[in-house]
């Protein structure tokens, strides 16, 4: 799917993540609820996650999306750090 065909929800979540993680090399947000915005899958690769445990990385994402999460049913988060 191209960037132009992102749903409004995907674009909104992507914008928030870009603001909160400006050093991220990859941010991918996919609405996995069929476009209704109830559930998202998020992939973020960022220097911000270096030397943090997975649970801490996911907490950072949850905190960044605290407002958006209120209207969601579920969220799948995948975080990583850039490979050297």
> Domains plus CATH for the chain?
8-80 (3.30.300.90)
Full-prediction pTM beyond 0.95?
no
* Predicted confidence (pLDDT) per residue in 28-49, tens digit: 999 999 878 899 999 999 999 9
Assign 83 a pLDDT band (cuts: 50, 70, 90). Answer: confident
Q: What does the DSSP assignment read for 48-80? A: GGTT--HHHHHHHHHHHTHHHHTT-SEEEEEEE
Assign 6 a pLDDT band (cuts: 50, 70, 90). Answer: confident
H helices, E strands: number in the chain? 3, 3
Assign 3 a pLDDT band (cuts: 50, 70, 90). Answer: very low
Beta strand 24-31 with 74-80: parallel, antiparallel or unpaired? unpaired
In this prediction, residues 8-35 reach a mean pLDDT of 94
């Amino acid at each position: 799917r191209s960037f132009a065909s992102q749903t409004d929800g995907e674009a909104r979540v992507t914008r928030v993540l870009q603001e909160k993680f400006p050093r991220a090399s990859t941010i991918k947000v996919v609405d996995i609820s069929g476009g209704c915005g109830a559930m998202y899958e998020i992939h973020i690769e960022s220097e911000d996650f270096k030397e943090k445990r997975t649970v801490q990385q996911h907490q950072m994402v949850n905190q960044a999306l605290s407002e958006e999460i209120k209207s969601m049913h579920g969220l799948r988060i995948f975080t990583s750090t850039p490979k050297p």
